[in-house]
C-alpha cells in the first residue's frame, strides 16, 4: 500500500486496544511499527536500481519483523511508562504484520519475508497501485474515527473489515480491464493530473 494507507491502517487497528489503553502515545508507536518495514525505502537515495534490489527486503525481512516491535515496546513500556510490556508488544507486532500482509497481497513486487535466511519473495498482485476502494475505505474510516472519537472503534471495524472483504473479493475475482470497475480499480490514474494522484497518497507515479 501507499504510505498514507499504511498509516491509516495502523491508526485504525490501534482503535481496537491501543488507543483506549495507551492513549495517543501508544497510537504513535503503532504508527511507527506500521511504517517500520518501509525504512528500506531510504535505499532510493542510492538510485533506482539499488532501491529495486533492496526495497521489500531489508525492512521486510525477519530481523526488523521480530526486533522492531520489540524495541518499540521496550521504549513504550519501560521508557515512556505506558504500562504492561506484553500487550503493547503484541499490538505493535500486529501493526507491523498488517503492513507486510497488505504489501504481498496487494502488489506483485515480491516481499522477502524470510530474509536473510531466504531470498524467496511473495507478491500476489490482487490489488493495483491506484485502486480507489482500499483508499476510500481506509481514509474514510480514519476521518470518522478522528472526528467522532466515540465511534472510533466502530469506524475502525468498518474500515478494516471492508479492506479484508475487498481483498478476499479481488483474490477470488481478478481486477476488471474495462468499464467503470476498471476505472475505480486503477485505470483512472493513467491520464489524471499528478495533483489527483497525490491526493490519494501516490507520491511515486
Domain boundaries, the chain: 3-199
Biggest CA pair distance of the chain: 54
Short-list 196, 42, 135, CA closest to 205: 196
Higher pLDDT, 45 or 125: 125
What percent of the chain is modeled with pLDDT above 70? 99
pLDDT at 5: 97
pLDDT at 33: 97
Question: How far is CA 194 from each of CA 7, 114, 131, rounded to the nearest angstrom?
Answer: 21, 36, 15
Whether the link from the prior residue into 19 is cis, omega within 30° of 0, is no
Calculate mean pLDDT across residues 189-193: 89
Rounded CA-CA distance 25/13 in Å is 14
Amino acid at each position: 500500500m501507499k504510505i498514507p494507507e499504511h498509516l491509516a491502517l495502523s491508526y485504525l487497528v490501534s482503535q481496537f486496544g491501543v488507543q483506549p489503553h495507551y492513549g495517543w502515545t501508544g497510537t504513535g508507536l503503532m504508527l511507527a511499527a506500521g511504517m517500520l518495514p518501509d525504512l528500506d525505502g531510504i535505499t532510493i537515495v542510492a538510485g533506482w536500481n539499488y532501491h529495486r534490489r533492496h526495497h521489500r527486503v531489508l525492512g521486510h525481512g525477519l530481523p526488523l519483523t521480530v526486533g522492531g516491535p520489540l524495541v518499540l515496546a521496550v521504549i513504550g513500556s519501560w521508557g515512556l511508562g505506558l504500562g504492561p510490556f506484553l500487550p503493547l508488544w503484541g499490538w505493535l507486532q500486529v501493526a507491523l504484520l498488517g503492513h507486510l500482509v497488505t504489501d504481498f497481497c496487494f502488489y506483485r513486487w515480491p516481499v522477502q519475508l524470510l530474509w536473510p535466511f531466504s531470498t524467496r519473495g511473495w507478491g500476489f498482485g490482487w490489488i493495483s497501485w491506484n485502486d480507489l476502494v482500499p483508499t476510500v475505505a481506509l481514509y474514510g474510516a480514519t476521518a470518522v474515527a478522528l472526528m467522532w472519537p466515540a465511534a472510533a472503534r466502530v469506524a475502525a471495524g468498518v474500515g478494516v473489515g471492508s479492506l479484508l472483504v475487498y481483498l478476499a473479493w479481488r483474490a477470488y475475482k481478478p481486477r476488471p480491464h474495462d468499464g467503470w470497475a476498471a476505472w475505480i480499480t486503477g485505470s483512472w490514474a493513467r491520464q489524471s493530473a499528478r495533483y489527483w494522484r497525490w491526493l490519494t497518497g501516490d507520491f511515486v507515479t
